[in-house]
Amino acid sequence: MKTVNVVGGGLAGAEAALYLSSHGVKVVLHDIKPKEKTPAHRSEKFAELVCSNSLKSNDYLSNACGLLKEEMRALGSFVIAAADGCRVPAGNALAVDRERFSAAITGEIRGRENIETVCGEVKKLGFGGVTIVATGPLTTPALEEEIKALTGEHLYFFDATSPIVAAESVDMEHAFFGDRYGKGSGDHINCPMDKATYEAFVAALLSAERAERKDFENAAVFEGCMPVEVMAARGIDTLRFGTLKPVGLYDPRTNRRGYACLQLRREDEDGTMYNLVGCQTNLKWGEQKRVFSMIPALKNAEFLRYGVMHRNTYIDSPKVLGMDFALKSDPDIFFAGQITGVEGYVESAASGLVAAINAIRRLEGKESVDFTRKTVTGALAHYVATAAEDFQPMNANYGVLEPLCGEHRDKAAKRRAYAERALETIDNIKKEYRL
């Protein structure tokens, strides 16, 4: 039986390991857990969701990340299947109970006879044969130096997480359930603020003490995980037109909306925990409690987890990787996950899926599969391999896709056309390559 070493048990590594295993390949999965953890990890399980518990929109006809998930379902993704099985109510989003999600994937990995798990730090990549490196943006220092020797100087950005509060501690006299514009089944808790409260909240954010003395406004901060205090510094109304926008959120008791509104999203199946949507932060923990408690619905909130910030490292992929995620200098070594410059849970898992598919092709002496820019899966792979000189992390979006033929003035019809073309392309690729 042929063997592939997979380094890293996050979303990309877990996806790769399970796909390889299901196709008759023996996998040796290396991870420092459970003996050790990186600064961002808390659980001993594989596929831990470090930041949000949301895998973003599940609507494949009108959202690029939703389309990516549908493509992955068609390709047999284990990560998306686990997410579907651990879903918690969150409107149109695919949000999961993160403990059940990680436990499901960990159980699947440990239950496979042809997956051997090895706990310990990998410092060298001299396994021989095919290897998939999916160590994530928090690769240990020794392995980071090994990877640097193969790929050159690393790039980086800063990432942050949001606080989580106990559901029973939210003051529902100042909050209400509902989804924006009534779309969904009313799963979010909405915490409105009047003008005076909002302006005081923003002022408190700007004056609060941060965990690190670092000017993140001038550092490389990924826009999708921008600390809320950094966004607030861009202008008094920045949050009110972004993270805290009140549009479409009307209190059914008064039929009025707030001047600003914070949404809380369910963390677990039982609805005992909620995270502060879009409130990634680098404030000191005591300051987080003080500042967020200024929101009327959170005045007595019990904080179960505070937000943290960490540096994420990734390689300069366009210089060193092909569209199959293999090193140009050594096609037996594949990379996957955030370390390649894809950004997001789903995007990371998708890269692990592509790496695994092409690792099998490599073992069989066959050409790699090009998913093409007609699919989100392939468009992200193309972006990672061919992006411009100023390479930045990329989420799933319509901009990376190959343009449609003809004119499409109606946005909804255009996105539906993208989805139909992508899923037809995936179906054809599966048939052509017998995936």
Question: Would you tell me the crossing angle of helices 98-110 and 11-22 to the nearest 10 degrees?
Answer: 40
- In this predicted structure, the answer to whether residue 185 has a pLDDT above a threshold of 80 is no
* Rounded Cα gap, residues 77 and 350, in angstroms: 8
Q: In the chain, where are the structural domains located?
A: 3-155+315-433, 164-307
- Which single residue is written with the structure tokens 């600390």? 227
Q: Within 10 A of 238 (CB to CB), how many other CB atoms are there?
A: 17
- Res 317: pLDDT: 93
CATH architecture of 3-155+315-433: 3-Layer(bba) Sandwich (3.50)
- Res 198: pLDDT: 97
- Res 313: pLDDT: 82
What is this structure's pTM? 0.78
- Res 221: pLDDT: 55
**Range scoring the smallest mean pLDDT among 154-163, 175-184, 191-200, 337-346:** 154-163
- In this predicted structure, the answer to whether residue 29 has a pLDDT above a threshold of 90 is yes
- Res 41: pLDDT: 61
**Range scoring the smallest mean pLDDT among 236-240, 338-342, 364-368:** 338-342
* Rounded Cα gap, residues 435 and 426, in angstroms: 10
- In this predicted structure, the answer to whether residue 220 has a pLDDT above a threshold of 60 is no
- The DSSP secondary structure of 164-180, one letter per residue, reads EEEGGGS-GGG-EE--G
Strands 54-57 and 93-96, sheet pairing: antiparallel
Query: Could you tell me the pLDDT band of residue 223, with boundaries at 50, 70 and 90?
Result: low
Question: Would you tell me the crossing angle of helices 64-75 and 345-363 to the nearest 10 degrees?
Answer: 30
255, HSE (Cβ side, Cα atoms, 13 Å)? 0
Per the DSSP assignment, residues forming a β-bridge with 303 are 165
Q: What is the average pLDDT score of the chain? A: 90
Are 265 and 277 in contact by the 8 Å Cβ rule? The answer is: yes
Query: Could you tell me the pLDDT band of residue 50, with boundaries at 50, 70 and 90?
Result: confident
pLDDT tens for 287-341 read 999 999 999 999 999 998 888 777 778 899 999 999 999 999 999 999 999 999 8
* Rounded Cα gap, residues 376 and 398, in angstroms: 8
Phi, psi of 192, rounded to the nearest 5 degrees: -75, 155
Q: Is pLDDT larger for residue 406 or for residue 172?
A: 172
Q: Within 10 A of 246 (CB to CB), how many other CB atoms are there?
A: 21
- Res 92: pLDDT: 86
- Res 75: pLDDT: 98
- Res 84: pLDDT: 97
Strands 189-193 and 333-335, sheet pairing: unpaired
- Res 40: pLDDT: 58
Q: What percent of the chain has pLDDT over 90?
A: 69
Indicate the DSSP class of residue 339: G
Region 141-145 average pLDDT? 88
- In this predicted structure, the answer to whether residue 420 has a pLDDT above a threshold of 50 is yes
- In this predicted structure, the answer to whether residue 202 has a pLDDT above a threshold of 60 is yes
Reduced 3-state DSSP string for 95-154: EECHHHHHHHHHHHHHCCCCEEEEECCCCCCCCCCEEEECCCCCCCHHHHHHHHHHHCCC
* Rounded Cα gap, residues 310 and 158, in angstroms: 6
* Rounded Cα gap, residues 316 and 305, in angstroms: 33
Task: Return the amino acid letter for 209.
Answer: E
CATH topology for 164-307 is Elongation Factor Tu (Ef-tu); domain 3 (2.40.30)
- In this predicted structure, the answer to whether residue 10 has a pLDDT above a threshold of 80 is yes
- In this predicted structure, the answer to whether residue 224 has a pLDDT above a threshold of 70 is no
Whether the upstream peptide bond of residue 141 has omega within 30° of 0, thus cis, is no
- The DSSP secondary structure of 356-370, one letter per residue, reads HHHHHHHHTT-PPP-
Query: Could you tell me the pLDDT band of residue 361, with boundaries at 50, 70 and 90?
Result: very high
pLDDT tens for 72-127 read 999 999 999 999 999 998 888 999 999 999 999 999 999 999 999 999 999 999 89
Phi, psi of 72, rounded to the nearest 5 degrees: -65, -35
